[in-house]
């Protein structure tokens, strides 16, 4: 199924490590993308149910898997989301 | 917290006769008996006078006579005699619960009697199909919250560690799970292709060699778990293929009735598409199921203690996704039921 490439031009800023990287669409989610940058965010289920990977975020994400509990404003589950435009994550 | 406008198994039909039988369901004390006409009566197990359990009284001509002062109630909970009083007090009424019998069970409707709906009892396809066989089933109490039992029955992964002698088998430890969400339940499933059936099933399938194996773990509201296993000759199974004529299908029906928040009554039977009249197979399968469920009971009772007394946070894993989505569905339905208006 062809998926709309909503995040083609996104840039991801890891605000704690003070780095900005172009989002790479070959990644399934922001958690894997962060790990590929050498970061080690906490996680457990990697499927949107446990909230272990919840981070503060500036900007919007698209969920590729529906979180069990909707994260609040300014928060995102990075294990099951991709950026929708530019985002900054506290990593 | 319980969903009340729902049916729960209160016992096996074969166990409910012309004798007073107490049961606790959703924390409520209930007394059951079978009337002379054959219908099941379920009343609050408390005389409205001093709340002596009516199950401590006697059954006389289809009426319960309280063992304290003889207040006598009919099958609807209406008071028909108050020997110590000149007239029957107008408030002398006992709550009655709608009952229905199906699949060898007595089901009780635990919610508003005005909303009773027998079509909400889970449908069991092929129950009356003469080419299918079924076990006599069994039951046990487990000292844990009923949702831990549901979690277990939505978790195909645990078999590789808990049920080493029965349901475990090649690829049960690492094949990814799929989750389907429905309006009234959740299904966790996976096909494991080209594997040797575990011993428990190898004796039952009607072909030799490797199998494509389905684990279909479904739970529907309020707490009915349908665990379907399919073994098809290797190369013929898969979600996109019709059932092969040599496929072996076994469905384990599991009804979990909360006794209260920390104990559950677990009822089950198994249903298969082969050997309808083979009692030896039925008995072997029934014994196998009980052995496996004793293994679950051992784990779940310790989980109840562990989760109640935990000193550090617990963790959710990807394998919990189906169970947690079912819990979320159930919570939302309970909240809707309890919402005012």
List chain B residues with CB under 8 Å of A49.
316, 318, 320-321, 324-325
Evaluate whether A54 touches A71 at the Cβ level (below 8 Å): yes
CB B211 within 8 A of CB B247: no
Q: Would you give per-residue pLDDT tens digits along chain B (341 residues)?
A: 999 999 999 999 999 999 999 999 999 999 999 999 999 999 999 999 999 999 999 999 999 999 999 999 999 999 999 998 989 999 999 999 999 999 999 999 999 999 999 999 999 999 999 999 999 999 999 999 999 999 999 998 898 889 887 777 777 778 888 999 999 999 999 999 999 998 888 888 999 999 999 999 999 999 999 999 999 999 999 999 999 999 999 999 999 999 999 999 999 999 999 999 999 999 999 999 999 999 999 999 999 999 999 999 999 999 999 999 999 999 999 999 999 87
Q: Is residue A16 a contact partner of residue A4, using CB atoms and an 8 Å limit? A: no
ipTM rounded to 2 decimals? 0.78
- Distance from the Cα of A33 to chain B's closest Cα (Å) equals 19
Distance from CA of A70 to the nearest CA of B (A): 12
CA B82 to chain centre: 39
Closest CA to B49 of B98, B83, B24: B83
Where helices occur in chain B by DSSP H, the ranges are 146-153, 159-162, 199-202, 279-308, 321-338
pTM of the model: 0.91
Nearest-Cα residue of chain A relative to residue B319 = A45
Do B321 and A46 make contact, defined as CB atoms within 8 angstroms?
no
Q: Is B56 within 8 Å of B19 (Cβ atoms)?
A: no
Q: Which of B264, B279, B282 is nearest to B225 (CA)?
A: B264
Residue of B319, B321, B328 to mutate for A, most A C-beta atoms under 10 A: B321
Dmax over Cα atoms in chain B, in whole Å? 79
Instruction: Compute CA distances B322 → A47, B152, B191, whole Å.
Output: 11, 10, 16
Q: How many angstroms separate the CA of residue A62 from the nearest CA in chain B?
A: 20
């Amino acid at each position: 199924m062809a998926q709309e490439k909503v995040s083609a031009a996104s840039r991801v800023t890891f605000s704690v490590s003070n780095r900005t990287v172009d989002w790479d669409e070959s990644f399934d989610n922001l958690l894997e993308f962060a790990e590929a940058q050498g970061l080690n965010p906490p996680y457990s289920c990697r499927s949107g149910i446990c909230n272990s990977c919840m981070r503060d975020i500036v900007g919007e994400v698209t969920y590729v898997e529906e979180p069990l509990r909707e994260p609040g404003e300014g928060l995102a589950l990075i294990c099951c989301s991709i950026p929708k435009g530019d985002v900054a994550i506290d990593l | 917290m319980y969903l009340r406008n729902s049916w729960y198994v209160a016992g096996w039909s074969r166990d409910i006769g012309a004798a007073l039988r107490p049961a606790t369901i959703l924390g409520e004390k209930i007394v059951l008996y079978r009337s002379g006409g054959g219908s099941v009566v379920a009343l609050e197990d408390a005389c409205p006078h001093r709340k002596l359990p009516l199950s401590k009284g006697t059954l006389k001509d289809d009426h319960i006579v309280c063992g304290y002062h003889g207040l006598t109630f009919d099958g609807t909970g209406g008071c028909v005699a108050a020997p110590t009083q000149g007239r029957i007090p107008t408030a002398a009424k006992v709550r009655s619960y709608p009952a229905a019998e199906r699949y060898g069970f007595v089901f009780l409707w635990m919610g508003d009697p005005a909303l009773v709906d027998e079509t909400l009892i889970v449908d069991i396809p092929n129950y009356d199909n003469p080419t299918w066989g079924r076990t006599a089933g069994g039951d046990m109490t487990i000292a844990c919250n009923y949702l831990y039992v549901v979690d277990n029955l939505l978790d195909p992964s645990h078999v590789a560690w808990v049920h080493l002698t029965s349901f475990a088998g090649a690829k049960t430890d690492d094949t990814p799970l799929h989750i389907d969400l429905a309006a009234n339940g959740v299904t966790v499933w996976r096909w494991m292709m080209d594997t040797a059936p575990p011993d428990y099933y190898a004796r039952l399938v009607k072909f030799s060699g490797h199998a494509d194996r389905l684990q279909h773990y479904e739970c529907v509201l309020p707490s009915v778990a349908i665990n379907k296993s399919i073994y098809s000759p290797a190369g013929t199974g898969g979600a996109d293929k019709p059932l092969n004529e040599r496929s072996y299908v076994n469905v384990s029906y599991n009804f979990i009735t909360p006794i209260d928040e920390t104990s559950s009554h677990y009822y089950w039977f198994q249903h298969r598409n082969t050997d309808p009249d083979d009692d030896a197979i039925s008995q072997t399968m029934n014994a196998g199921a009980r052995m496996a469920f004793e293994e679950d009971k051992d784990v779940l009772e310790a989980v109840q203690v562990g989760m109640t007394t935990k000193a550090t946070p617990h963790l959710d894993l990807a394998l919990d996704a189906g169970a947690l989505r079912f819990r979320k569905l159930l919570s939302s339905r309970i909240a809707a039921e309890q919402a005012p208006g």
